[in-house]
Structure 1
Amino acid sequence: MYRIIAGKWKAKKIAAPRHFDVRPTTDFAKEALFSILENTYDMQSVAVLDLFAGIGSISFEFASRGTQDITSVEMNPKHTSFLNSTASELGFSLQVSVQRGDVFDWLKKFRNKKSFEIVFSDAPFETEEKKYQELISLVLKNKYLKENGVLIIEHQSRMKLDHPNLTDTRKYGNVSFSFYRPNEESSIETTEE
């Protein structure tokens, strides 16, 4: 179970069926994250990509705060069904587009189709570091981020995700958020070759 912290559905509790194997972002970490984001972005005008969306803790937090363009990618069919039914129940169906698929395959397939101000990833905690690095690379190299965009990776605090584009890591207990800026040099590199 998780609750929406702010916006239209503030304090609304969302409970997933018992047999779902999910780990929603804690309220404490989510509150801190959105405090950072709201100081940088106008929630109503950003486009958001939520990778490993689970049961929608992050997607619905954005929607409750007025974000109109949210793409949620999740592989588990039970979770995508839950995402769709919850979006409908809360009146978010027009704001939240649920895409069922493996995140890595999805990122390879849809590259250069659309870019976002915020890309958020909450991969399973047992994900290996090399898979995180692949994810960072797929998002940055395929221009999923707008110029002013940010990629945020939620991961276990004991894991360090170093990368040249890493700008900050914030720790909240055993959960950390690492922030990455888009590539500025990528367009220069290709013209020099």
Structure 2
Amino acid sequence: MRIISGEYGGRKLKAVPGMATRPTTDKVKESMFNIIGPYFDGGKSLDLFAGSGGLSIEAVSRGIGHATLIDRQYQAIKTINDNIAITKEIDKFTVYKQDADKAIGLLKGQESFDLVFLDPPYKTQEIIDTIQKLDSSALLNSQALIICETDQHAKLPDDIPGFSLFRRQNYGITQVTIYQKEN
């Protein structure tokens, strides 16, 4: 795994030890950022299931101003912090060891985001519920993009109230579904 492009491009990232996480492949990550960016002029991102932190670090490398990373596993948090240290700009990142639902409650009223990454264990219902919780907690800026990474069996809907389908793309067994918050 590596940071593909931007300020930190080419730097290697560590993977979370064990089988509890599945990192986004470089191919999928590069395609994902080509769709949503590929570069940003500030803004804030949120990753509720951060794993190694690779998606958020890539976003900051490409111009996102600040990234908030959430994961509930100790090994993931340790790996995220190690990977953030590679950037030498730790002030651009906030990391919480927290369950995603509790993190939404913690962030409510304090933050709002332009870009959200959702790559939970492959469970369809949680993604839809999580998007609705983010929206009802006022954590999403107008036109915010929500990038969902699932397997092809997840069958995420085209329509979610308050959101439009921005793009859906398959990469082998991985499917990336991107929603955009409507005004």
Give the match for residue 157 of structure 1: 152
| Alignment: residue pair count | 179
Structure 1: 5+ residue stretches without partners: 185-193
TM-score where L is the length of structure 2: 0.88
How far did residue 68 of structure 1 move?
2.2
From 33, 57, 60, the counterpart of 2:57: 60
Residue 131 of structure 1 pairs with residue 118 of structure 2: no
TM-score, length basis structure 1: 0.83
- Tell me the distance in 2 between the aligned counterparts of 1:171 and 1:89: 31
Residue equivalent to 1:5: 4
Q: Once superposed, what is the RMSD of the aligned Cα atoms? A: 1.9
Structure 1 residues 79-158: aligned runs within 5 Å: 79-125=76-122, 127=123, 129-158=124-153
- Superposed CA deviations along residues 106-150 of structure 1, whole A, max 9, x for unmatched, are 11332232111101111112x2x2222211211122222111211
Q: CA deviation at 1:90?
A: 2.4
Does the CA contact (< 8 Å) of 2:143 and 2:182 recur in 1? no
The offset of 1:17, in angstroms, is 5.8
Gaps of 5+ in 2: none
Shift of 1:93: 0.4
- Distance 1:18-1:142 versus aligned 2 partners, 3 A rule: closer
Larger radius of gyration: 1
C-alpha separation in 2, matches of 1:17 and 1:173? 22
Q: Work out whether residues 56 and 83 of structure 1, in 8 Å CA contact, stay in contact via their aligned partners in 2.
A: yes
The structure 1 segments of at least 4 consecutive aligned residues displaced by more than 4 Å after TM superposition are none
Equivalent residues of 2:145, 2:178 under 8 A apart? yes
Query: Would the aligned equivalents of 2:3 and 2:54 in 1 still touch at CA under 8 Å?
Result: yes
